[in-house]
């Protein structure tokens, strides 16, 4: 039996492991952390459960190929999903704009708010509706398709191609100018930071409005653990607290993976399902540079990376009428000299087991970009200052919530504050990024095969292969890597 060593036990590593076992390989997953799931995780604080990932999972619609793939790896098998009424509810100057899941309701509520925008709203609605035909391709990577499969694939991408062509190079801020009502304009412009392509709004809403981007009950950690269970059932091996640090390379072959805990693993194939910087820099010592990644790392303006401040708040009470994700203005405060004027909170009321009886947990994510990361990295050198800055931000969020919901005053507490350094520390995430390069109007698409030039038996897998990444990309690329290895071994790939 050929031996496959997988570095990283996130969703990509677990997916690769599950498909490796299904296809007759003897696999081991090496994970640096003491638990698996990578960025798809959750943790407990003071009797509350904090979900650290899934805000929307592409693949929740039964009967679709991506849903079947999640089922195959055990992630959604037998699990019901929570379908939020709106993707985001945005408060602006006394009105609330909802990105309703029911697209007809979205359209009528927007027209009711601003009849003079009817034409722009109709165009918005039609684009989302048209893009609902799009399904994320999961069958096989394009370079492995035969000509007939390629033609079928390209035809299936017709509507996505139309939207990319029309809106790929239009910034959200520019697109938002189509709306005259300030609340609609602000809501649309706010969906992603400045410079981001309007296409991202359409892709997200097309998935959401057709029920393809909901939230599995039990949350992120439970989903990752179901995949761990599936992997172990199939006979896979897991080595936790086992950080890969070095590779032994002879000619064009990687022979061994050497870990921090002095364990060495011999391999016929290696799948690096970790951050690509870890692969290219730590493991390959910069000897096998990759042009596609280098170009992007060196141009953070066109290829930005987002990390997060992730603040969790416990509420001693329940509240029925706060949407799942609500964005509202706040008395301004600063993070790294950037003024924060609005925050988004996620309400986990739909998960009663995430909080003690009669309580509710909220999370608030504030994106952190290039300069923020540099500031956090510097601050981290002084642990006292780092901790008190995190605590200050936690208090700012708590205060902002109390201002917006006076009835919560005195009943809120900060449970936890995560910074970009947390993602770096726990997951080796480059610059604390939680997704791959985000789509801006200047960026070029990247579809990396995961093949390392000059090495025959080492593959990269994970969300970074297909920016902007996310959980479905991690899932698909884990499977695709095993498909490539099967092809090399002249084995028929077993998909189920």
Ligand X SMILES: Cc1cc2nc3c(=O)[nH]c(=O)nc-3n(C[C@H](O)[C@H](O)[C@H](O)COP(=O)(O)OP(=O)(O)OC[C@H]3O[C@@H](n4cnc5c(N)ncnc54)[C@H](O)[C@@H]3O)c2cc1C
Nearer to ligand X, 360 or 428 (CB): 428
Task: Please give the torsion angle defined by the CA atoms of residues 270, 271, 275 and 277, in that order, rounded to the nearest 10 degrees.
Answer: 40
Helices (H), 336-414: 370-380, 383-404
Query: What percent of the residues of the chain are helix, what percent strand, and what percent coil, each to the nearest 5?
Result: 40, 25, 35
Angstrom distances, CA of residue 49 to CA of 52, 220, 227: 9, 11, 20
Cα–Cα dist 27/9, whole Å: 12
Nearer to ligand X (CB atom), residue 400 or residue 428 = 428
Q: How far is the CB of 12 from ligand X (least distance, A)?
A: 3
CB of 126 to ligand X, least distance (A): 26
* Cβ distance to ligand X smaller for residue 40 or 163: 40
Considering the complex, state which of residue 39 and residue 117 has its C-beta at the smaller distance from ligand X.
39
The residues that touch ligand X, with contacts defined as CB under 6 A, are: 7-13, 30-33, 38-40, 52-57, 243-244, 273-275, 278, 308, 310, 365, 427-429, 434-435, 462-463, 469-471, 474
Do 87 and 205 touch, CB atoms closer than 8 A? yes
Burial label for 288, CB within 10 Å (0-12, 13-18, 19+), is: middle
d(CA 338, CA 247): 41
Beta-carbon-side half-sphere exposure of residue 427 (alpha carbons within 13 Å): 30
Nearest distance, CB of residue 30 and ligand X, angstroms: 5
Pairing, β 264-266 against β 86-92:
unpaired
> Is residue 96 helix, strand or coil?
strand
Instruction: Report, in Å, the least distance between residue 167 CB and ligand X.
Output: 21
Residue 489 three-state SS: coil
Residue from 66, 3, 8 nearest 464 by CA: 8
Nearest-approach distance from CB 419 to ligand X, in angstroms:
12
Are the CB atoms for 9 and 37 separated by under 8 Å? Answer: yes
The answer to whether the beta carbons of residues 50 and 416 sit under 8 Å apart is yes
Distance separating alpha carbons of residues 395 and 388, to the nearest angstrom = 10
- What DSSP state is assigned to residue 144? G
User: Please, what is the minimum distance in Å from the beta carbon of residue 283 to ligand X?
Assistant: 7
CB of 95 to ligand X, least distance (A): 26
How far from 321 is each of 36, 59, 266, CA to CA, in Å? Answer: 35, 27, 56
Q: Give the burial class of 336: count Cβ atoms within 10 A of its Cβ; 0-12 exposed, 13-18 middle, 19 or more buried.
A: middle
Radius of gyration, CA atoms only, the chain = 23
Task: Provide the 8-state DSSP code for 33.
Answer: S
d(CA 118, CA 175): 15
CA distance 49 to 63: 31
- Give the β-pairing of 3-7 and 264-266: unpaired
CB of 353 to ligand X, least distance (A): 20
Closest C-alpha to 214, from 323, 348, 60, 53: 60
H-run or E-run covering 312: strand 307-315
CB of 296 to ligand X, least distance (A): 16
- Shortest gap between Cβ of 329 and ligand X (angstroms)? 22
Toward ligand X, which CB reaches closer, 39 or 416? 39
Q: What is the nearest approach in angstroms of ligand X to the Cβ of residue 150?
A: 26
**Residue 212 Cβ vs ligand X, minimum distance, rounded to whole Å:** 12
């Amino acid at each position: 039996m050929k031996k496959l060593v997988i570095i990283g036990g996130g969703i990509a590593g677990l997916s690769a492991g599950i498909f490796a076992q299904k296809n007759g390989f003897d696999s081991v997953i090496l994970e640096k952390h003491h638990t698996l799931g990578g960025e798809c995780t959750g943790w407990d604080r003071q009797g509350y459960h904090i979900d650290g990932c899934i805000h929307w999972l592409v693949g929740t619609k039964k009967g679709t190929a991506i849903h079947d793939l999640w089922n195959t790896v055990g992630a959604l098998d037998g699990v019901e999903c929570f379908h939020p009424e709106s993707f985001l509810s945005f408060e602006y100057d006394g009105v609330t704009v909802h990105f309703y899941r029911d697209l007809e309701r979205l359209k009528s509520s927007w027209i009711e708010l601003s009849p003079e925008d009817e034409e722009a709203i109709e165009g918005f609605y039609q684009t989302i509706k048209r893009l609902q035909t799009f399904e994320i391709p999961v069958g096989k990577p394009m370079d492995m398709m035969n000509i007939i499969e390629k033609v079928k694939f390209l035809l299936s991408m017709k509507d996505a191609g139309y939207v990319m062509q029309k809106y790929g190079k239009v910034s959200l801020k520019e697109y938002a100018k189509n709306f005259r009502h300030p609340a609609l304009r602000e809501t649309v412009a706010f969906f992603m930071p400045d410079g981001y392509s309007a296409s991202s709004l359409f892709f997200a809403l097309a998935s959401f409005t057709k029920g393809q981007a909901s939230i599995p009950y039990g949350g992120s950690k439970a989903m990752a653990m179901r995949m761990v269970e599936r992997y172990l059932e199939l006979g896979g091996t897991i080595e936790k607290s086992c950080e890969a640090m070095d590779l032994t390379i002879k000619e064009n072959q990687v022979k061994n993976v050497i870990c921090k805990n002095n364990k060495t693993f011999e391999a016929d194939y290696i799948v690096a399902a970790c951050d690509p910087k870890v692969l290219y820099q730590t493991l390959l010592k910069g000897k096998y540079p990759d042009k596609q990644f280098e170009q992007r790392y060196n141009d953070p303006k066109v290829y930005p990376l987002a990390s997060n401040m992730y603040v969790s708040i416990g509420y001693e009470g329940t509240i029925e009428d706060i949407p799942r994700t609500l964005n509202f203005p706040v008395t301004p405060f600063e993070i790294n000299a950037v003024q924060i004027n609005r925050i988004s909170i996620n309400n986990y009321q739909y998960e009663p087991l995430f909080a003690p009886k009669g309580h509710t947990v909220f999370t608030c994510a504030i994106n952190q970009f290039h300069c923020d990361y540099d500031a956090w990295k510097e601050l981290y050198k002084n642990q006292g200052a780092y901790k008190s800055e995190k605590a200050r931000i936690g208090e700012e969020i708590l205060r902002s919530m109390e201002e917006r919901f006076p009835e919560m005053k005195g009943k809120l507490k900060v449970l936890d504050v995560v910074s970009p350094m947390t993602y770096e520390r726990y997951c080796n995430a480059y610059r604390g990024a939680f997704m791959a390069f985000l789509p801006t109007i200047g960026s070029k698409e990247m579809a990396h095969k995961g093949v390392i030039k000059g090495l025959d038996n080492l593959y990269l897998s994970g969300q970074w292969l297909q920016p902007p990444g996310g959980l479905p990309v991690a899932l698909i690329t884990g499977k695709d890597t095993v498909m490539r290895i099967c092809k090399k071994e002249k084995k028929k790939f077993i998909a189920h």
